[in-house]
A and B are shown apart, each in its own frame.
Chain A
Amino acid sequence: MSVVFEPSLCVSCGRCASVCPGTLLEAGDGRPARILFPDDCWGCASCLKACPRRAVRLTLPPALGGLGGLLSCGREGGRLVWRLERPGREPADFPGDPEGEGGY
């Protein structure tokens, strides 16, 4: 499992399902989104970037060194703002692409 949905935030807009490159998601008709084939997820985060509500989050499985954190993505003024949520901690925001990036 690597994408986790939060039904209370989901508005059933269907954006996540419409972008998934693996055709793994189901959303719409007033029902909250869900993943039909959890083991087939590539972890590409396309659904995160499409979701207007941060209702879908990516987690790294422990077998791959994950610590249980949840990554979500929002857009502010056209820019991506990523967010890390960890159990019992304050969420931390991380802007994806500030102006003039070039330092790596």
Chain B
Amino acid sequence: MPSPHLKTVRLQADALVIGGGTAGCAAAWLLAEKGLEVIVLEKAAIERSGCLAAGVNAVNAWIAPGREAADYARYALEDAHGIASWGLLLSMSARLGEAVGFLDRLGVPFHRGPDGRYVSRSWRNLKINGGDIKPALASCLKDRPNIRVVERVHALCYLAESGRGGEGALARPARICGAAGLRLNAPELVAVEAPAVVCATGGAAGLYRPNNPGRSGHKMWYPPFNTGGGWAMGIFAGAELTTLEMRFVALRLQDTAAPTGTLALGQGARQVNALGEDYEPRYGNTTSQRVLAWRAETEAGRGPCAMRAGPLDLPARRALTRSYLHMSPMQALKFLEGEAAAEEAAAAAAAGAGAASGAGNGHREFSFQIEGTEPYVIGGHTASGYQVDESRATTLPGLFACGDAAGGAPQKYVSGALAEGFIAAEGAALYLAGLRGKADRPPGDAPADARTPAAGPLEAGEGALASLTLSRLERLLEGFASGPAPAYGPEDLEEAMQKAMDLYAGGRGSGYRYGLEGLREAGRRVLGIWKLAFALKAETPRSLSRIWELLERLAVARHLIAHLAERTETRWPGFGEYAGHPGPDPALELFINSRLEAPPFVPPEDFGRHPPMMLRRSLADSRILDGPRPSLAEGGQPGPLFPGPAVPGEGAPSGEGA
């Protein structure tokens, strides 16, 4: 078998943005505005990559005149049943208007009333013709001398500089100083050295068995190409992740996973069960309660449930179809096919009756069956992702995160992702300025604060760890390139992982329910699949990327399982149910965070034994719901480290659960 024989190419910049999606474009743009040299590494091509590929028909995070940032933050906190960071929500909410203005200036068509004002669907939701929102957004990075967009490169791992130098310093990186990625269309490894890195790789789809079977497996709501890669990189570098257990299950139109909000907000559609009952009021109105409503009705034998709107006249039906064309082309195709078939049936009936037909212009009811999706992990809808502070700095110096990759602040949507991109860019720019200042100062007077990078030269990548990581990565990739291939491929292992997660970690197939023993079984299977993955062989960079995506998902799945086991309550009933722990536990109004104790930087073959995973709880600064609002500094204090709940691999990994 020919090996891809990767050639390593080195690039340098002031700042590296990983992922040129919504948040990444905003971050790169602002970093460049500040005069910094920026490189964007993007797995696809920024013109249509990420969540915005198909488009969106609304900006879901906006604050109408007369309302303030705190109103939005409060709404998001309540929707998250109290598990979100007030400080993070507030800092994001304060910049939503700016994000909307940014899109407007880039030419995204907002609907405007006769008075020139935006047309809104509610106090926090604006209508747009967003079918081409991503090309419009991506245009902000075009033709700028200090931005270099490197496309079709799958970022694989961070590079870091070690504090004390030498191999022994592997345990704690002094600071992140770049990343290495695989070019998908040439046998090339791209190593970017940059003293500040912004991770904007989105969330993770494909951890669970998807709703749509077999050949339609990628017809899911969240982009199947967002595989949790940024989190896997963080896991391997020892970054802290938060609240992964708050999975997102979306209530969507069946088959196409198209959002229901367009019908609900636009046409006043309601959820109805098979008996025609409008059951929503019985369950409450948070995102998770609306999913629960569908599930409970279905489990009680009152399904199928549907979104019902109308009867609608022809112009209304056309407008609705159009709005889906801006966002969910498959659903629009379904509308169009359905309309055409209905018109023909009506014409045939009219011809049979000998009457002239005006059937196509008549009123017609729109009714579409709904269902919950497989669970995703997404920091833009829930609070999962990198543990970040208000400048969107992660727990690793030099590394920032924003958008769906950043935790703590749910309900971001397009505008919140942009807002966080701005904040992360400002945080990274300040950090760079600090580094520069420090480089000028005599060594020795740098404070020992963990978050402050060790004094050192600004030229990144000279540190022992950076080259060590790179050579380790090269060796690991070589291993995938040579030797006999096993009888299974990455797709087979992906299926096995999705099955394990579905059955034992609360997938759709198990009614989103799980228990401790099941989670342990899921953990064992994930580690077993991990081992098998190391025997996989790749003939092309593209197939190597496929293997890596599998490793990313497995790494995130392992942490997710540990988080699920740790939160012994049922806080978000629509998103999941911990058997034996019905309802929320007031003692668990806190964040659950995890990280690897001794970062291996590149995926270790024996993930079960080495390195141990640490979990910690930290106070949720969400008490504002019934008290004064603490600042992040008061409320976000880390709790004591305590041993993990054991996601046992074979033979109880040392350090875990110890």
Contacts and interface: CB of A to CB of B under 8 A. Distances in A.
A, B from the same assembly: yes
Contacts of A65: 254-256, 334
Given A23-B152, A97-B129, A104-B319, A46 B218 contact: no
A71 B447 CA distance: 61
A13 interface: no
Interface string B110-131: 0101000001000000010101
B50 interface: yes
A46 B53 contact: yes
B340 A45 contact: no
Contacts of A102: 111, 113, 119, 127
Given A42-B53, A44-B48, A92 B340 contact: yes
Interface in A48-104: 48-50, 58-61, 63-67, 69, 71, 80, 82, 84, 86, 89, 92, 94, 96-97, 101-104
Nearest to B129: A97
Contacts of A38: 215
Given A39-B217, A45-B54, A65-B334, A22 B212 contact: no
A41 B218 contact: yes
A63 B213 contact: yes
A102 B325 CA distance: 14
B603 to A, nearest CB: 22
B540 to A, nearest CB: 10
A1 interface: yes
A28 to B, nearest CB: 11
A40 interface: yes
Interface residues of A, number: 44
A21 interface: yes
A10 B316 CA distance: 35
Contacts of A50: 48
A43 B220 CA distance: 9
Contacts of B215: 1, 38-39, 61, 63
Contact of B336 (A1, A64, A84, A103): A84
Q: Name, among A21, A42, A80, A82, the residue most crowded by chain B CB atoms within 10 Å (CB to CB).
A: A21
Given A44-B54, A45-B54, A66-B337, A97 B326 contact: yes
Interface residues on B, range: 35 or more
A20 interface: yes
A31 to B, nearest CB: 16
B657 interface: no
Contact of B315 (A69, A89, A103): A103
Given A22-B224, A94-B336, A102-B119, A64 B330 contact: yes
A49 B327 CA distance: 13
B48 A21 contact: yes
Interface string A3-21: 0000000000000001111
Contact of A66 (B217, B220, B333): B333
Nearest to B542: A23
B337 A49 contact: no
A28 B218 CA distance: 25
Contact of A42 (B223, B254, B266, B323): B223
B326 A43 contact: no
A71 B334 CA distance: 10
B364 interface: no
A43 B131 contact: no
Interface string B22-64: 0000000000000000000001110111100110010000000
B321 A21 contact: no
Contacts of B316: 103-104
A59 B119 CA distance: 33
B19 to A, nearest CB: 12
Given A80-B131, A103-B315, A69 B320 contact: no
Q: Name, among A19, A38, A43, A61, the residue most crowded by chain B CB atoms within 10 Å (CB to CB).
A: A43
19 contacts: A2-B330, A18-B45, A20-B44, A21-B45, A22-B225, A23-B184, A42-B219, A43-B329, A46-B54, A48-B329, A58-B329, A63-B212, A64-B216, A69-B337, A71-B333, A86-B340, A97-B322, A102-B119, A103-B316
Interface of A: 1-2, 18-23, 38-46, 48-50, 58-61, 63-67, 69, 71, 80, 82, 84, 86, 89, 92, 94, 96-97, 101-104
